Amino acid sequence: MRSPLPLALASLVLLWTAVAGAADAPADVVYRGGRIYTANAGDDIVEALAIRAGRIVYAGSDAGVGRFTGAATRTVDLGGRTAMPGLVDGHMHPLEGGSLLLKCNLNYEALTVTQLQARIQACLDATRSEEPDGWVEVVSWFQQNMLPAGVATSRATLDALATSRPVIVRSSFGHTVLANSRALALARITRDTPDPLGGKIAHDAAGEPTGILEDAAFEVFDTLVPKPTPAQDVAAARAALAALARQGVTTFLDAAAQAESMAAFHAVQHSGGLTARAHFAPPILPPEAGHLDAAIARIVAFRKRYDQGPIVAAPRLTVRNAKLFLDGVIAGPSFTGAMLEPYLVNAGTETEPRWQAGPSRGPAVYFPAPALKAALIGLGRAGIDPHMHADGDRAVHEALDAIEALRSALPGKDIRPAIAHDEIVSPDDFARFARLKAFAVLSLQWGKPASDTVDGLRDYLGPARARILEPSGLLAAQGAAIAYGSDWPVDPLDEWFALKVGVTRTNAADAGPKYAGRLGADPGLTRLQVLRAITIVAARELHADDVSGSLETGKLADLIVLDRDPFTIPAEEIAAIRVLQTVVGGHTVYAAPGFGN
């Protein structure tokens, strides 16, 4: 990263001309007097920007921007503050995130069983009118953070509540549901119910279902729990957009977009309320592996219906991605990540543990290898970028094999495949990301000591694999393109905490001594790398880097103003950064109280 250029040199090197109208025509708005990180190829920092018709017409020195200031130009004096490109979140679930704000929400908190029951009982008591048959859907349950560590929950945990209603509790990871006996009965899940493809029903020692359901095993509730109305979906989309604007997110990818999500955000756009650029990746599910032509045709039909063409100043909807789930999650107690080597089991005692290879490598990758390769090639031919969920190293390996088949079948075609999460990756596969031009879309906030990485995982992986858990820095060192994806609402929406963890590999100070220090041996990312991951690299992942992701002449004016400089503050303080203003296509979509503009 270069420091602010001397004014004379900046005027010569960074004096970019207008893209519309006369070169010196007045701008609509000018930002000056700041440190503006551009995220361009040189990672330049400039002092001023000029914006006209939603696009940047100048980026350079304060002295040079005067040419773009007219009688009607609005001037924002940054007063030395930092501005940068708007954040591009390359993997989230925004409609779900918005809807969770309207439900019985456990807020990712660490809870004892008694506290869990009390929180759910309070929701039941507040909705007594829905007894005895109204469904209760509890969300944002941080299953791996239950207290004390390793405590078990089952349907009995929920059966003890004072209700006759069916209750399901959704893990924040999105791969586990806990159901009470009434819900299991309505779903007709018994001791004889087989595991569905891509899912698992947990059983107790007597063979009865415990109430813990993994992945496809809880899809049955999709037909039982009343779906939100279109009006509720629109309300959820609006709530999500407001949360994104406060965080500084100007572009997002809905990384498993159902028709309801696309319809809701389209409705918000129609009413003039779309405040971020919305990209959608409808899913192709494992049972569709035998009907890939029809599945790809369905994605293309969504594109024809909702994709609005080239990205312009006003936010639009884009559909040019498809989501494929290859496994579940590597963390306990699920252990549904597909692994190359077995998970370990304790053959000793709690006080004298003896960890050794167990019988399970997790499930088979949800798409058989031939079907996965065929899916990627078919999507590539249709001009659709595949976006794959892969948590375990076997899932990552087979995803890379499929990308290799795609590259061989369609050489030279600009398809941008992404593998999301990559929580454990074989070192033999590190360099393949760069060679195959595969994006690693990482939720950087996971790269810290925490209940899910320490209590629920470290011993089960063993020392060698634990050392390379969440390998962001190791992948980057091998040239992988690292993009950021929050996976909200798997975690709270906190982009700046995630960026802090990406640099420091540490948890928050209040996480306690058990989770102090750095996670593993991975070196982490530099400040520049995390900022590029959430701007220009994520924009490149979404085929949007020609118009967004950096602050350069001709690009769209998507930018944020910060209350402190992420390059100069202590690294731990990056988590405390607050957005003062969010601008999309030249229009302010969020301004913090007291920030004049």
CATH architecture of 7-86+554-591: Roll (2.30)
Mean pLDDT split into 10-residue runs, the chain, 597 residues? 43 38 81 98 98 98 96 96 98 95 87 96 95 94 86 95 96 89 97 92 96 93 92 96 98 98 98 97 96 98 98 98 96 89 94 95 97 98 98 98 98 97 98 98 96 85 96 98 96 96 95 92 98 98 98 98 98 98 98 83
Q: Give the Cα separation of 83 and 250 in Å (integer).
A: 14
Containing H/E element for 373? helix 369-381
Give the angle 83-237-102 at the CA atoms, nearest 5°: 110
Q: At 259, which amino acid appears? A: A
C-alpha 212/C-alpha 214 separation (Å) is 7
How many other C-beta atoms lie within 10 A of the C-beta of residue 22? 8
The label of the residue with tokens 């999301």 reads 420
Residues of the chain with CATH 3.10.310.70: 98-223
Cα 397 to Cα 518: distance, rounded to the nearest angstrom:
26
Distance CA 213, CA 75 (A): 56
pLDDT reported for residue 23: 61
Tokens 């509730």 found at: 221
Map residue 144 onto helix, strand or coil.
Answer: helix
Which residues, other chains included, contact 158 with Cβ-Cβ below 8 Å and sequence gap of 6+?
117, 120, 167, 169, 178, 179, 180, 181, 211
Residue whose tokens read 């020692």: 205
Of 487, 565, 557, 561, give the one whose Cα is nearest residue 527.
Answer: 565
Q: In this structure, what are the phi and psi dihedrals at residue 213, rounded to the nearest 5 degrees?
A: -125, 135
What CA–CA distance (Å, rounded) separates 365 from 339? Answer: 9
Q: Judge whether 394 and 362 are in contact, CB under 8 Å.
A: yes
Say what the pTM is: 0.86
Q: Which residues lie closer than 8 Å to 66 by C-beta, 6 or more apart?
A: none
**Domain covering 98-223 in this structure, CATH number:** 3.10.310.70
Which residue type occupies 344?
L
| Residue range(s) in the chain whose domain bears CATH number 2.30.40.10 | 7-86+554-591
Residue 298 to residue 268: CA distance in whole angstroms: 23
Strand residue runs (E) in 432-547: 439-442, 481-484
At 19 the pLDDT is 41
CA distance 189 to 228: 24
